[in-house]
Structure 1
Amino acid sequence: MKTIKVMIVDDSAIVRQVLQAVLNKDPCIEVISAVSDPLFAMTRMAIQWPDVIVLDIEMPRMDGVTFLKKIMAKRPTPVVICSTLTDKGAETTMQALSAGAVSIVTKPKIGLKNFIQDAANDITSAVKAAAKANMSNMRMPRAAVKVREKHGVENVIPSGASAMSKTTEHVVAIGTSTGGTQALEFILKALPTNSPGIVIVQHMPEKFTATFAERLNNICDIRVREARHHDRVLSGQALIAPGGKHMMLKRSGAQYLVEIIDGPLVNRHKPSVDVLFRSTAKCAGKNAVGFILTGMGDDGARGLKDMCDAGASTVAQDEQSCVVFGMPKEAIALGAANKILSLNQIPQEIMRYAYLKI
């Protein structure tokens, strides 16, 4: 296996030192340079270009977002953002994800050394996922044509939930990870205000999901927000699971609600796509459609199979349009997907499903 060559750009000497030590412990990763700001980085990159860049956001001389945009314009390269867990950091990180960053690793303001050592697995996994990214798909696809409105997990999910055989309410469940922020923006911007209710798990740390949802809400026709406990699933609205919590679907009469709960990591994630999909299979059955999008790993594959077995329509994003063809690939291998569609086809599929259910 080819060694992943990594550059670290962070103005903290402690962060550079500890990150370099953590990453170099993995035999598949080699840190080729660790520099204090983007200007030093550009000098080093003229000599040797890295496979992956781990990038801080707030730095002297040039901020990380400006540097990121320069990289993407010159030679698109996988970038993992190393950001502080603050509201300001979340807003800036959203700008970085929009500009083409692959994923986020968070760091606290204090206790950096111990935190990075404790989070070694997450950091190395993020770098490995970034190395597999198809950077041509990190650029936002050509704006989707608006879909026209039609007029006229066992230790987390309770075993007692069951699906209704028929209801007037329907649910779209979406799960995604690496590359998902761009994919979700593309999909949700294309949907009209009479879209079916949508529930989403995007692997993302706490604080960042609220900022992400707010950003989408400002650019989409449908309402988008971070889910709260017992929010109703409503037409024309998308609920995004909060970072650091699981989100489950729950039935209440002829309506659907979401439950926001704590609990163990599932597939090393919280929120987990499997938790959402399995609860959707139990509570919605044939009244749901599941989409598994771009992402590293296998979270959501077994949950999508549960949805499929319960009679739901299930869709996996195709390899050609994925940033990382991990989660959809695993779902397809399990026989969990009724259809395999490109990102461009998914908004139409959501509304086709809605029209069929009217």
Structure 2
Amino acid sequence: MKTCPKCRQKTDAEQCPSCNLVFAAYEQEKMEKTGEVYQLISAGELLKAKKMAEALSSQFPESRTDFILLISNINRDLNIAKKYQQAQELFDKGGHEQVGLILRNIKAFSPGLDEKIIALRQKAKQEGEYGGRFQKAVDLYEKRWYGEAKKAFLNLQKNHPDDEKLINYLQKIERIKKSFLEEIIELLGENSFQLAQERFSKLIAIFPDAEEEYAAISKTLNHKKEINTQILEAAEVARKKGRLLEAKVLYTFLYLQNHELHPQLRPYIREIGDQALVNLAECAQYNLLDLNETGLQVKEDGLLERVITERQITDKLYTGEKYVPLSPVDICTEPLADPLYELVNIDGLEITDFS
């Protein structure tokens, strides 16, 4: 026994004998209309869905309770949609924590709206975490912990590759790192190896990855340190064994090559002083010195004299400053009389022969 939803008459037939309503067609239409409501809800057309559901509740009175429940869910989603819009505006303004509060424990009836809420809530959480992590990275930068700050900014950049703030901070850190390197290279050029080592050590302390990146500089500094140690040890041995000239040469070399060693080496060089003298003539004899470069030459008695050049000979006329080989000249303190020779008869005159 069935009850007609329109006239309420009871019957066992498939069609109401009173109002001619076909029960199967009626149920099919109700199901299709209800499906349309759900489609509107999924599409976010909540107001249209509500209006249609209200009409269906009158069209299908026996299902009125179901449609009232559906309308209630639609009304709830309309309120949630307003909160979602508010949360989206806050998110766009950077109010990520407030977004989390507004959307906390909210679940929409509409699957589409619910997915949007979950996505925005998760995104706000991530951005909130990003903001905190970004601030921590900035704090590291302000404390001049540039190496740690660089790592933090790079980690943030993985998910935010186009963030200008991250790019700017990373560029600042790179310029600081480059300034360290330029200073180290300048100190190396000035033979200030100790200062260069100190600056390089500070660079490594701030940027640990720089040790591998600038391995060549590290190798140069270590090699120079080893050489200085060996030369200093050799100079000490020479000084203690009385080989003062050798010690003075080694100390002087270190003195000229390492500005920071001046206080340490100056007393030793002063202590040796004139005790170690060099004979330039002996240096030339043993090919230890190129006298041509000094403008000097060694005389037969072993003393030195200046070399006469073509320029000097030609009354300061520049001819290339080539050295002129000079023949030995005998210098006499008193004039000597010419020796007498036999007379030669020329045209009846006897002339002294000076040939």
User: Hey, which of these two has a bigger chunk of helix by percent?
Assistant: 2
The alignment's TM-score, normalised by the length of structure 1, stands at 0.19
Structure having greater relative contact order (Cα 8 Å, sep ≥ 6)? 1
The alignment's TM-score, normalised by the length of structure 2, stands at 0.19
